[in-house]
Structure 1
């Protein structure tokens, strides 16, 4: 059986994470800044009593800042260290591409992105970059 991916857009690129890693998707949330935190840590949010670190995925991937954050979405993913919120531009769909369409990330993918991408999937209308949620949230352990 093929794996399902929750997809989202960042700077026009389609990313995906395995559906089983996604706890929930939230509209833009009020975040409390953390003094002296790394630039990619946007802050902390209170998710029904659970304190969740929020990571600006654009900054983490070395992408330019988003001029319009009104449509930003929080994708809360489960990691070995607990829930982490990834701020993305826009949520996509759930896709279930065939297993044969996956391959390692090509050298044309920027190094900062390739470091966090497990593999890519060729779709009819583009490329799906499969994000490694543990590595993407790895800044939390370093903070």
Structure 2
């Protein structure tokens, strides 16, 4: 599982679109890609299903603007998860090091934004699949 999620989070070998020197290797070694990947899948699927089967059936939440807001919320949740999981993993990995954690905000931010990207893409794909089962949001987002 670690290899599958590492391929996604590092940007598809040999392209390595999202690979961060040393940081990605340490994330792989800590096994944190699996935690982030499963959290991404669970949070995104649950929130999209909640939107289409619960929230969109009340008031005017089935409109496109609310769908965009909901997608942004999903992205924010996925960013927070990736940021916290990666920061905790690196702190645990370098707890015995005299220098401490060598990584700064930019590495965690980059990984968080990759998680946002995958969360938005997955939300869009799930929306296309699930929207036909909704009562009012069958035309949301288009």
Assess same fold via TM > 0.5.
no
| TM-score, normalising length: structure 2 | 0.22
Higher relative contact order (CA 8 A, sep 6+): 2
Structure with more helix by fraction: 2
**Structure with a larger share of its residues in strand:** 1
TM-score, normalising length from structure 1?
Answer: 0.22
